[in-house]
A and B are shown apart, each in its own frame.
Chain A
Amino acid sequence: MAMADTNPQGMTVSDEVAIEIKNMNKWYGQFHVLRDIDLTVHRGERIVICGPSGSGKSTLIRCINALEEHQQGSIVVDGTPLSSDLKNIDKIRSEVGMCFQHFNLFPHLTILENCTLAPLWVRKIPKKEAEETAMYFLEKVKIPEQADKYPGQLSGGQQQRVAIARSLCMRPRIMLFDEPTSALDPEMIKEVLDTMIQLAEEGMTMLCVTHEMGFARQVANRVIFMDAGQIVEQNEPEPFFKNPQNDRTKLFLSQILGH
């Protein structure tokens, strides 16, 4: 596989390894969800993961911040090995931000409180500083005026942007996205993607599970195709879309791009 040092937009990728997954396997009972996953993500890389439903995309990225346990192989995030040691898990989780399909904002807290909670309690940052950081990132995702509202009062797109801001407030070095736009109406998808593109341009290391192929073309420097728990094919976006090698990839792409 060719590793580009820059992608079409000129965003740089360093040699430093951010995530290293080696020979990872995971089972749900008898069901073998992830098979022999090998994946190295460099700092600054933006990876899009796609594949048919049930292929294990969510499970893969949820293993990276230990929301799911893996049974075999190793995962090293930012130099910290993911073991059953709770200290390591907490450390990794506070370095890795995650956005979910259904936002998962805390409905009993205001937008600002959602954003300051983890910095206050995990990073033990003073309240004033945490609020300033929160406002900075809320401005970045373009909804500072909603700070005192509750999540239930916001549109889906706004909620997802708050969720991104909430993760960014922890100043993560890696961001994971699990289908961040697939619960949204088309007109809201754009505002969330714009936020993600902006993030990518600033050099954030990102792993996105998404079917937004336009996004993949624009920002990804690698697209990974998964099927039946395996990484079937990975390549830079241009060759990946123009000239897929594997039959399953071809089928998937024809289905998703075909109509």
Chain B
Amino acid sequence: MSDTHAESVAFVRKTEIPPAPPPVTETGAIKWVRENLFSGPFNTIMTLLGLYVVYWLLSGVIPWILNGTWEGSSIRDCREIIGDTGGGCFAVLGERWNQLLFGFEYPSELYWRPTLAFILLFVTVPQVLFISLPRKLLILTGLYPFLAYWLIWGGSILIPFFALVGLVLGYAAFTRAERINFAAGLAAFVVAAVVAWWLGGFLTAAAPNFLALEAVDSRNMGGFMLNLILGIVCVSLSLPLGIVLALGRQSRMPLIKYVCVVFIEFVRGVPLITLLFVANVVLAYFLPPGTNFDLILRVIIMITLFASAYIAEVIRGGLAALPKGQYEAADSLGLDYAQAMRLIILPQALKISIPGIVNVAVGLFKDTTLVSIISMFDLVGMIRGPILSSTDWVGVYWELWAAACVLFFVVCYGISQYSQWLERQLQTDHR
């Protein structure tokens, strides 16, 4: 404020008047409670009932947690420490934590390997999940599956290396031959990849210990790690497969269309657990004797097929929701089918489908616990089998199942929050 101005005015307040608080009955909390919880007799009764239910729940859960013990090496120790305070026997979680996470046969001195793989997941996957990051980092994401495989299963690095080389060569061949047409591209892909894998097989056999980590058999995978492996692998595989199925279902070529329709309808019509039994038992009959077709791989294939049928239907919904004008505009600009799909149709259809896809992904992740029924020791299998049936911890139900719930909840809630964030990021249509 200028001096002249200050002189021309008799009084200028130099400080701001602090706002006076409104009367107590009109301020935030009390006003809100009065208006929202006790605004009428019915509302008052519901509020009191609600309070009672909350009290009843907390009066059960809080002593259980607060009086619980984390010490002791068996349920008998727990009982001694807790007495009849109603506390929980959380000692089992500490004692068997590694088993809950890794299963009971993964060598304990190698726990760092899956742990490292899990941490690397957070380094390499954001490039896909957060669209704002530089695209070049996607290379890291592409390398991740092979690195993670090497870390978790061990063995010579040549195995994942040649798997990767085969795919890269296949892709290179595909882009060359695709100029002729798409079928030629696919054929070139298959030939290049198979040749690379075949040669790679020789080299790997020749140098089985080249940069080898101690190998861990698939049978020894277990615990929450197994759920995460199945969940992450199956979701990542079923998304592209689902897209292909959804597009195939829209195809004008009757053969492609009906193959997709039959597949989707069949898979949706049978329970996942039956597919898992098929994977476990029946496939073994069809394979030549002596072939060792990894059980986890069989299960991954089944869950992926199952989830992809659902994802295909979700994406079909998204495709159907797009106005016809989008296809026409893409066509009228001269974009070919692949370009129109990739640049115009799928980005929009997938965005519409995010809630549905996440729904399938979360459901799929939880359904991975079904493998406990075909005697794999995932988190649920571990609790049901080795832990609860051990003499030390027989009967410690609540604590173990609560822990399982918490682990699953954290992951599923995370996925859900991420998807909501992603939807907001992609909100560009300003409707």
Listed stretches A23-31, A93-101, A202-210, A233-241; interface member: A93-101
**B339 at interface (Cβ–Cβ under 8 A)?**
yes
Checking A117, A152, A153 against B333 with a beta-carbon cut-off of 8 angstroms, the contacting residue is: A117
**A105 at interface (Cβ–Cβ under 8 A)?**
yes
Q: Give bound CA distance, A153 to B329, whole Å.
A: 19
Checking B332, B335, B429 against A107 with a beta-carbon cut-off of 8 angstroms, the contacting residue is: B429
- Which residues of chain A come closer than 8 Å to B328, judged between CB atoms? 67, 100, 104
Is B429 touching A166 in the complex (CB atoms < 8 A)? Answer: no
A254 to chain B, nearest CB (A): 33
**B140 at interface (Cβ–Cβ under 8 A)?**
no
Is A108 touching B333 in the complex (CB atoms < 8 A)? Answer: no
Chain A 152-170 interface mask (CB, 8 Å, partner B; 1/0): 1100000000000011001
**B93 at interface (Cβ–Cβ under 8 A)?**
no
**B344 at interface (Cβ–Cβ under 8 A)?**
yes
Q: In chain A between 73 and 126, which residues have their CB closer than 8 angstroms to a CB of chain B?
A: 86, 90-91, 93-94, 96-98, 100, 102, 104-108, 117-118, 121-122
Q: Give bound CA distance, A90 to B335, whole Å.
A: 7
**A215 at interface (Cβ–Cβ under 8 A)?**
no
Is B431 touching A105 in the complex (CB atoms < 8 A)? Answer: no
Q: Give bound CA distance, A104 to B328, whole Å.
A: 8
Q: Give bound CA distance, A119 to B339, whole Å.
A: 12
Checking B329, B333, B428 against A170 with a beta-carbon cut-off of 8 angstroms, the contacting residue is: B333
Is B351 touching A108 in the complex (CB atoms < 8 A)? Answer: yes
A193 to chain B, nearest CB (A): 21
Is B428 touching A121 in the complex (CB atoms < 8 A)? Answer: no
Q: Is the interface of B mostly helix, strand, loop or mixed?
A: helix
Checking A67, A100, A117, A150 against B429 with a beta-carbon cut-off of 8 angstroms, the contacting residue is: A150
A95 to chain B, nearest CB (A): 8
Checking A94, A100, A105 against B334 with a beta-carbon cut-off of 8 angstroms, the contacting residue is: A94
Residue of B nearest to A110 (CB): B428
**B281 at interface (Cβ–Cβ under 8 A)?**
no
Q: Give bound CA distance, A66 to B347, whole Å.
A: 25
Checking B331, B336, B348, B431 against A152 with a beta-carbon cut-off of 8 angstroms, the contacting residue is: B431
A105-B428 contact given A94-B334, A122-B334, A122-B335, CB 8 Å threshold: no
Is B343 touching A90 in the complex (CB atoms < 8 A)? Answer: no
- Which residues of chain B come closer than 8 Å to A104, judged between CB atoms? 323, 325-326, 328-329
B184 to chain A, nearest CB (A): 15
Residue of B nearest to A62 (CB): B328
Is A67 touching B326 in the complex (CB atoms < 8 A)? Answer: no
Q: Give bound CA distance, A133 to B429, whole Å.
A: 25
Q: 6 shortest A-B CB distances, which residue pairs?
A: A94-B334, A152-B430, A104-B329, A104-B325, A118-B333, A93-B334
Residue ranges of B at the interface with A (Cβ–Cβ < 8 Å)? 323, 325-326, 328-329, 331-336, 339, 343-344, 347-348, 351, 426, 428-431
12 contacts between A and B (CB under 8 A): A93-B331, A94-B333, A94-B334, A100-B325, A100-B329, A102-B325, A104-B323, A106-B344, A106-B348, A107-B429, A117-B335, A117-B344
Besides A100-B328, A107-B429, A118-B334, 12 more A-B contacts (Cβ < 8 Å) are A65-B332, A94-B333, A104-B323, A106-B344, A108-B347, A118-B335, A121-B335, A121-B339, A122-B335, A150-B428, A166-B333, A170-B333
